């Protein structure tokens, strides 16, 4: 009896899981009955779907670039930290050697500069970490747009077959098609808000980093990699 209940429970779980899978694409054999004019909305939807895939690929590449810039910044932070430690060690050494006031003042200036550089580097690191977060959100948004474009393509196919009296249209539940489009568009809208919020946070960090970098610029070593400011957000096309 217990074994039967377990089997039934497993079956119910399997059915529930299968119901969460994306809907299968409709039978599009009816599209062959349509003329060029009737197929135009479908062709346009397919073009948009291709653009969505291209945008998602670019978003994934941008995310990889953002992560690479973050790794470089981490290395720069290690260098800045080492410079500060060397300056502090040098001050201790000069004190033990009874260095002159001018020599102590010189190393104090060097320590202050190293501290400024480290502060600027820390802010740069925070900014680049946030830009990775932005790039990740933009990648998710682009992938969501692919889902929306796919849903719109299916909707265009159904409507075209329906208008062309293709019998395959009768096997489609239009309510399911419309719900899939609405759900995808809602998810995309939510992700767009998330991108906007993360980018706003990145702009604040960028401005703080730039202010600190300007203060420490005369003593800072040149960056080994250019870091772009956060650009205005873009929506997938």
Question: pLDDT tens digits, residue range 57-90?
Answer: 999 999 999 999 999 999 999 999 999 999 999 9
Predicted local confidence at residue 11, as pLDDT: 42
Q: Left (φ > 0), alpha (ψ -120 to 50) or beta: where does 212 sit?
A: alpha
Nearest to 115 by CA among 219, 222, 223, 225: 219
C-alpha 157/C-alpha 33 separation (Å) is 12
The CA-CA-CA angle for residues 54, 57, 58, to 5°, reads: 90
Direct distance between the N- and C-terminal alpha carbons of the chain, in angstroms, rounded to an integer: 57
- Name the nearest CA neighbour of 172 among 185, 182, 183, 161: 161
Tokens 């096997």 belong to which residue?
Answer: 171
Give residue for tokens 């249209």: 169
Burial level of 105, CB count in 10 A (0-12/13-18/19+)?
Answer: exposed
pTM of the model: 0.75
Ranges of the chain whose pLDDT falls below 50 = 1-21, 220-226, 234-235
pLDDT at 227: 56
> What's residue 99's pLDDT?
84
Q: Mean pLDDT in the chain?
A: 85
Domain assignments of the chain as residue spans, ordered by start: 60-216
Residue 230 carries which DSSP code? P
User: What pLDDT score does 215 carry?
Assistant: 86
Q: Which pLDDT does position 15 carry in this prediction?
A: 37
CA distances 126 to 54, 80, 88, 202, 212, Å, are 30, 15, 25, 9, 13
């Amino acid at each position: 009896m217990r074994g039967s209940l377990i089997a039934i429970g497993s079956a119910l779980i399997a059915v529930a899981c299968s119901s969460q899978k994306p809907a299968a694409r409709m039978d599009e054999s009816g599209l062959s009955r349509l003329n060029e004019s009737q197929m135009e909305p479908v062709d346009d939807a397919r073009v948009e779907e291709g653009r969505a895939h291209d945008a998602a690929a670019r978003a994934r590449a941008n995310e990889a670039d953002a992560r690479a810039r973050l790794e470089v910044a981490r290395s720069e932070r290690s260098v800045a930290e080492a410079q500060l430690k060397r300056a502090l060690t040098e001050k201790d050494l000069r004190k033990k050697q009874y260095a002159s006031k001018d020599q102590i003042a010189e190393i104090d200036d060097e320590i202050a500069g190293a501290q400024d550089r480290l502060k600027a580097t820390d802010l740069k690191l925070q900014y680049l970490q946030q830009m990775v977060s932005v790039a990740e959100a933009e990648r998710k948004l682009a992938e969501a747009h692919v889902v929306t474009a796919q849903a719109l393509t299916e909707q265009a196919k159904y409507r075209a077959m329906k208008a062309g009296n293709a019998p395959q249209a009768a096997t489609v539940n239009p309510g399911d098609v419309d719900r899939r489009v609405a759900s995808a568009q809602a998810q995309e809208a939510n992700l767009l808000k998330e991108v906007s919020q993360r980018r706003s946070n990145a702009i604040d960090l960028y401005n703080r980093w730039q202010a600190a970098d300007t203060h420490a610029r005369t003593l800072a070593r040149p960056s080994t990699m250019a870091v772009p400011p956060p650009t205005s957000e873009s929506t997938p096309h």
